[in-house]
Amino acid sequence: MPGYDAIVIGVGGMGSSTLYHLARRGLKVLGLEQFEIPHELGSSHGYSRMIRYTLQEHPSYVPLVKRAYELWHELEQNINETLVVTTGSVRAGPPDSDFYRGAIESCDLHQIPYEILNNTEVNRRFPGYQFPDDISSVYQPDGGFVLPEMCIVGHAQAAEEAGATIHTGETVLGWEIQNDSVSIRTNHEVYSAARLVVTAGAWAAKLVPNVATYAIPERQVLGWFQPERPELFTPERFPVFGIWTEEGRYYGFPNYSVPGFKIGKSHHLFQKVDPDTMDREVRPEDEEVLRRFTSRYFPLAAGELLDRKTCIYTNTPDEQFMIGVLPGQPQVSVAAGFSGHGFKFASVIGEIMADLAQNGVTSHDIELFRLDRFDR
Ligand SMILES: Cc1cc2nc3c(=O)[nH]c(=O)nc-3n(C[C@H](O)[C@H](O)[C@H](O)COP(=O)(O)OP(=O)(O)OC[C@H]3O[C@@H](n4cnc5c(N)ncnc54)[C@H](O)[C@@H]3O)c2cc1C
């Protein structure tokens, strides 16, 4: 008999949520994490992750984010902590850009309310913004951010309370199918489980050959600048934003946890990396990428750099997720390749992964994320 009903590799954003759902369904589960919970070496740190209905990535993410919101609020009640901060969200870009139009399309298709604001209107309403006149904005009042470290700890704690076992400082070195179960070898031990779930973030390619060529880690950098007028950059007065500009695609958050305006550029310097050897220092050229943009679009926030962090995206070729049961290996399922926009969904991804481990299928629509789509 296998020792566990399911083992989850990686207790980060997706893994902590998967453990939570499996444990609450009464399964005997073990989560294996190579570092601590939480930690700053993966993809889920930096105090805030945007959550929004304006999903220009694809309209079929909208039902998932609806369920994600429900599950975040359920977890907030279970652990008696705030996990979601509502600020409103702005998606902005030239009116003919796919980024801007896609945000509108996803709302229209799913009857999500929003407002269109030109640059004068957006700058007047949110005076921390100073967008130029070729930029249009979609404002959606329900957007905001989730607190990633708190979400991970909350899921892990509630999973433990429901009976899950979690080991930290334990690295999975390999796994193999043995008859109906899976044998999992770590730096400490060999375990067996009826089902294996791999939620290893930037390390997924090292553990699952099926995603190795398609889930590529990329170095990212986050910066927190001191605003000249901090009162304009509070969660009450400053909606989270994503913007498509000639300088690239940037996103930002109000002051929260760090007394500074948080800013990042998607794909930063386009550096593909190995997560075990990535340069984790923030260099002057990294700061320059963030400062140049801030000075132009948010000049009242372009003061001292108060904090800085590196982080990792795990990109797929079409920037959609990879989720499913491995073809021909029904004992193993994987969730990987979140391409810089996965955290908001972590609560529902855990539910999906628990469905796949328990039943091999889920009622959520995950067709967009098929593991075999690049091979077909
Ligand atoms: C800078 C930045 C900004 C982002 N902004 C947003 C945003 O605003 N909104 C949004 O929705 N998403 C955002 N994302 C994306 C989102 O954060 C990620 O999609 C999400 O955190 C991925 O979660 P994960 O569980 O796959 O990875 P992680 O949380 O990194 O978890 C993977 C875990 O697996 C562990 N692990 C790996 N290999 C092993 C092994 N062999 N043995 C044991 N443990 C192992 C790792 O240590 C790690 O803890 C952003 C990402 C970055 C980097």
- Give the residue from 332, 334, 328 showing the smallest Cα distance to 366: 334
**For residue 264, which atom of ligand 1 is closest to its CA?**
1
- Give the residue from 312, 314, 311, 334 showing the smallest Cα distance to 324: 334
**For residue 171, which atom of ligand 1 is closest to its CA?**
42
Does ligand 1 lie within 6 Å of residue 13's CB atom? yes
**For residue 207, which atom of ligand 1 is closest to its CA?**
41
Give the burial class of 185: count Cβ atoms within 10 A of its Cβ; 0-12 exposed, 13-18 middle, 19 or more buried.
Answer: middle
Does ligand 1 lie within 6 Å of residue 252's CB atom? no
CA dist., res. 199 & res. 208, Å (int): 10
Q: How far is the CA of 333 from the centre of ligand 1 (A)?
A: 17
Q: What is the pTM of this model?
A: 0.98
Q: How far is the CA of 231 from the centre of ligand 1 (A)?
A: 31
What pLDDT shows up at residue 2?
A: 86
Does ligand 1 lie within 6 Å of residue 65's CB atom? no
Does ligand 1 lie within 6 Å of residue 88's CB atom? no
Q: How far is the CA of 113 from the centre of ligand 1 (A)?
A: 30
Q: How far is the CA of 108 from the centre of ligand 1 (A)?
A: 30
Q: How far is the CA of 359 from the centre of ligand 1 (A)?
A: 25
CA dist., res. 314 & res. 203, Å (int): 9
Would you list the DSSP string of 80-122?
Answer: T---EEE--EEEEE-TT-HHHHHHHHHHHHTT---EEE-HHHH
Residue located nearest, by CA, to atom 4 of ligand 1: 340
Does ligand 1 lie within 6 Å of residue 12's CB atom? yes
Residue located nearest, by CA, to atom 50 of ligand 1: 340
Q: How far is the CA of 148 from the centre of ligand 1 (A)?
A: 10
Ligand 1 pocket test: pick from 167, 338, 344 the residue with the most ligand atoms within 8 Å of its Cβ.
338
Does ligand 1 lie within 6 Å of residue 34's CB atom? yes
Residue located nearest, by CA, to atom 21 of ligand 1: 44
Mean pLDDT of successive 10-residue stretches along the chain, which has 376 residues: 95 99 98 98 98 96 98 98 98 97 97 98 98 97 98 98 98 96 98 98 97 96 97 98 97 95 98 98 98 98 97 98 97 98 99 98 98 92
The answer, yes or no, to whether the previous bond of 254 is cis (omega within 30 of 0) is no
Instruction: For the beta carbon of residue 238, count every other beta carbon within 10 angstroms.
Output: 26
CA dist., res. 94 & res. 100, Å (int): 7
Torsion sign across C-alpha atoms 138, 144, 146, 147: positive
**For residue 314, which atom of ligand 1 is closest to its CA?**
19
Does ligand 1 lie within 6 Å of residue 201's CB atom? yes
Does ligand 1 lie within 6 Å of residue 171's CB atom? yes
Q: How far is the CA of 146 from the centre of ligand 1 (A)?
A: 14
Residue located nearest, by CA, to atom 49 of ligand 1: 12
Does ligand 1 lie within 6 Å of residue 128's CB atom? no
Does ligand 1 lie within 6 Å of residue 341's CB atom? yes
Q: How far is the CA of 307 from the centre of ligand 1 (A)?
A: 20
Would you list the DSSP string of 338-350?
Answer: -TT--GGGHHHHH
Strands 136-140 and 115-117: antiparallel
Does ligand 1 lie within 6 Å of residue 241's CB atom? no
CA dist., res. 326 & res. 315, Å (int): 19
